[in-house]
Amino acid sequence: MSAITTHVLDTAIGRAAAGVPVTLEQEEGGAWLELGKGVTDGDGRLRDLLPEGQRPAAGVYRLTFDTAAYFAAAGQDSFYPVVHVTFRVTRPEEHHHVPLLLSPFGYSTYRGT
């Protein structure tokens, strides 16, 4: 499992959000460097943003969720076409799980375990 993972739940329907495209980037010198990307599985999880065993360096990271693609595939209108979640890694030896609670007109996030 990747040292940085995510899980997307669609709170409007009370189920996992499968098929959400996600990109992981690291801030480097004022620019964003792409480290990995993928699509949430049937359980709304993305477990392989970084290669197995690779630890992130301390720094600032960003997950970008393509919510427009997810809601369009469901035939649903939404307000936020993209959700960016920026977070800081201060202890690279720890696992960093960043869940997203999503609905067509709002979202929330937190540091998971």
pLDDT digits (tens, 9 = 90+) for 69-97: 999 999 999 999 999 999 999 999 999 99
CA distance 17 to 10: 5
What is the structure's pLDDT at 52?
Answer: 84
pLDDT band at 1 (very low <50, low <70, confident <90, very high): confident
Task: Report how many domains make up the chain.
Answer: 1
Average pLDDT of the segment spanning 26-39:
97
pTM of structure: 0.96
CA distance 3 to 31: 22
CATH of the domain at 25: 2.60.40.180
CA distance 113 to 1: 13
Average pLDDT of the segment spanning 29-34:
96
Domain with 21 in it: 4-109
